[in-house]
Amino acid sequence: MQLTEHLKQHFDDHLRTTERTVAKILPDLEKAIQLCHETVTQRRRILVCGNGGSASDAQHFVAELVGRFEREREPLAAVALSTDTSILTAVGNDYGFDHVFSRQVAALGQTGDVLIGISTSGNSPNVLRAMQQAHDNDMRVIALTGRDGGQMAQGLSGQDVLLCVPDQRTMRIQEMHILLLHLICEGIDAQLLGEPK
């Protein structure tokens, strides 16, 4: 396959994944936006966690909330749990890597806060533990996953939201995750500021 054809195939695959994702999760995406909007307007926090590329997505999303997305507004309370290397290394060393997010949720999470857990497989042990701790702290959870949703989909309560990208390929799932996070930012801003002109 020539390079041009190979690249075009990737774009075609991306578009197909986008179409399948829209068909599957649009109502749940609206629920996630509403949940995040309620959380920030009640002066509660959004905690976000993930590993690797999902950690980068968590940090990116939090930067859009605390800074701004596309329009000026007040900063919104959000924390990426993958950013404090002292906490990550201390907890990882003393308790094990599976606890690096749940210990932070135990310390920071309060009733009315939201945890966004990101895992393309839906099976990351440290994200699963963070979800369990969020429920213990009377928090709601938004799970961004792929494939069949994995164990994360099974660990959700009726108050939680599942955003599961219907694809098997990690890169396609990650592409959809950043789009979904941008749409959550846009949805929050639209409710806070009105529809963009």
Q: Any known ligand binding at 60?
A: yes
Q: Is there a binding annotation on residue 28?
A: no
Report the amino acid identity of residue 33.
I
- Tokens representing 58 are 């968590």
96 marked as binding residue: no
Q: Answer yes or no: is 56 a known binding residue.
A: no
117 annotated binding-site participant: no
Is residue 111 marked as binding? no
6 assigned binding-site residue:
no
Q: Any binding-site annotation on 121?
A: yes
Known binding residue 94? Answer is: yes
Whole-angstrom CA distances from 60 to 109, 115, 146, 155, 192 are 20, 15, 19, 25, 20
What are the distances in angstroms from CA 175 to CA 15, 27, 53, 96?
11, 19, 10, 30
Rounded Cα distance, 24 and 5, in Å? 29
86 labeled binding residue: no
State yes or no: 124 annotated in a binding site.
yes
Residue ranges of the annotated binding site for substrate are 51-53, 64, 93-94, 119-121, 124, 174
Residue ranges of the annotated binding site are 51-53, 60, 64, 93-94, 119-121, 124, 174, 182
Residue ranges of the annotated binding site for Zn(2+) are 60, 64, 174, 182
